Structure 1
Amino acid sequence: MVIAFAMTMFVSCSKGLEQVSNTAFSVNEPGGVAEDINLKYTDSGRLKANLLSPKMLDYSNREFSFSEFTEGINLYIYDKDRNKSTIISDYAIVYDKTGLIDLQGNVMLSTATNDTLFADQLYYDQAKQWLSTNQPVTFRTGGDLIHGNGFDSDVKFEEAEVLEINGIITLDE
């Protein structure tokens, strides 16, 4: 009698747990939430990057997983000589499978050499280390301020190109 009762409880509990696990977690909800992020990436004891963000939503529970930074990011990237480049945006989303980062809203990228890009949206392909957008941009390089509709460049701005240039202003030094 006791064994029959225990078996009945075990079977009914296992079905209940299965139902709870199926309904308690929706793929439309993030699998995790992190707040006040201060993530440092080092390689061989050298700081290479530092990501700061008030909030990150982790959607690794989806087939096409991604991380969403709904309150923006500040990202500092350091080269081998410890020169710092800065990337700031109001919103960012990182797609895990493609390695593509979509930066949106008041995007500003400034290099250690003071080249600075301003855009409403900017894509960064991590594998190719390539930046691009088809949105309006302002690019400050050397003594020039260049306005255009689109931008393509490597991460060091060695191959930087403003597309559909609207105007160039030479700044006084």
Structure 2
Amino acid sequence: MIQNNIFKYLFVSLALLALSSFISSCESKFKEIQRFHTVSFFPASEAEEIRMQYIDSGRVKAILTGKKMLDYSNVAYPFTEFPEGAHLTFFDNNRNKNTVVADYAISYTKTELIDLKGNVVITMHDGKKLESDQLYYDQKNEWLYTEGKYKASTDKDNFTQGIRIDFDSKLSTIKAKNSYAESLQNE
């Protein structure tokens, strides 16, 4: 009888040991499977203190500067990210200087959409200015829009502000919703 109890105890102990080994190996395999299905998300390349120029027909058309650029051309939906902001200077056909500044920018390659965030300011050579917290630029259609708040000014005394605006890249066609205009001129 004592011998049977010892065998039972030994059998139960071995069974528990085998079960715990099985459970820990399953857990190990589960963690391994989780790691296998986790997407590694690393940029294909990284650059700091960048300055890129776009030149066409011997003329500088645009200059892009930024503290950091991350190139994710190695993913299914490639994009380029400027996590510390971007500053774009572009020149029109008459060599007039215009600027776009944002705290953060991301450019999606396949959709040709650029998303600008944080203190976005577009300044045109003729004094027109647009400010917003977020602005999208559709490169294919040369169209800009925001669903958020904006302030657009034609000079230092006259401005329009509101929520939601669409306009072409030359600021000649503007579609504004929920907006109002003000003039700060002294009478």
User: TM-score, normalization: structure 2?
Assistant: 0.76
Give the equivalent residue in structure 2 for 1:126: 139
Give the equivalent residue in structure 2 for 1:159: 173
Which residue identity is paired with 1:52? T
Give the equivalent residue in structure 2 for 1:33: 46
In 2, distance between residues paired with 1:48 and 1:163? 32
Identity score, percent: 41
Give the equivalent residue in structure 2 for 1:108: 121
Give the equivalent residue in structure 2 for 1:3: none
Check whether the contact 1:27–1:61 (CA below 8 A) recurs between aligned residues. no
Q: Which runs of 5+ in 2 are unaligned?
A: 1-35
In 2, distance between residues paired with 1:125 and 1:151? 14
Q: Which runs of 5+ in 1 are unaligned?
A: 1-22
Check whether the contact 1:103–1:123 (CA below 8 A) recurs between aligned residues. yes
In 2, distance between residues paired with 1:108 and 1:160? 17
Question: Aligned residues, how many?
Answer: 148
Deviation of 1:114 (Å): 1.0
In 1, distance between residues paired with 2:107 and 2:56? 21
Deviation of 1:162 (Å): 2.6
Deviation of 1:171 (Å): 2.7
Which residue identity is paired with 1:73? A
Check whether the contact 1:27–1:62 (CA below 8 A) recurs between aligned residues. no
User: What are the superposed Cα offsets for residues 32-62 of structure 1, whole Å, 9 maximum, x if unpaired?
Assistant: 1011110000100011000000000110010
Q: Which structure shows the bigger proportion of residues in strand conformation?
A: 1
In 1, distance between residues paired with 2:185 and 2:117? 31
Check whether the contact 1:139–1:162 (CA below 8 A) recurs between aligned residues. no
In 1, distance between residues paired with 2:108 and 2:132? 20
Which residue identity is paired with 2:162? G
Indicate whether 1:149 and 2:163 are aligned. yes
Give the equivalent residue in structure 2 for 1:98: 111
User: TM-score, normalization: structure 1?
Assistant: 0.82
Indicate whether 1:135 and 2:162 are aligned. no
Q: 1:10-49 maps to which residues of 2 (within 5 A)?
A: 27-49=40-62
Give the equivalent residue in structure 2 for 1:80: 93
